[in-house]
Amino acid sequence: MQQASRQHLGIVKLLSSRNEVLVHQLAETRSESATLAREASRLRGDKIALQFELNQRTLELTTVRESLNAVQAALDADVVPLPVREIADTASHDLWTEDGFPTVIQLAALANPPVRQVEQRKHA
């Protein structure tokens, strides 16, 4: 009977020691679980903050693009086509002949083309 008690006492000590190890492991696991839960909560908060910042920057970018389009449209509206002068009988390809350079009179005619008679009447 004593021997049986000793065996039972040995088994109880073994189980008790195993129980202490498992309790210690459970405490460490719970601590790690709490740490991971805090980290997950912090990451969710960071995600929401970053999503909010992204939405704000997208809105700002849209506003800037609209403003740029408005300015570009205003600049394009200010563009006025320049009047095209018709060159007199002498065309630019005629100036450079086989004989050499154009004359001063030909260059002056290019710089100051003759005014049409319709335009002369307007000024008169």
Q: What does the pLDDT look like over 52-78, one tens digit per residue?
A: 999 999 999 999 999 999 999 888 887
| CA 80-85-87 angle, 5° bins | 160
* Residues 112-121: tens digit of each pLDDT: 777 666 655 5
Q: How far apart are CA 41 and CA 33, in angstroms?
A: 12
pLDDT at 94 over 80: no
pTM exceeds 0.75: no
Average pLDDT over every residue of 73-88: 73
Q: How far apart are CA 86 and CA 64, in angstroms?
A: 44
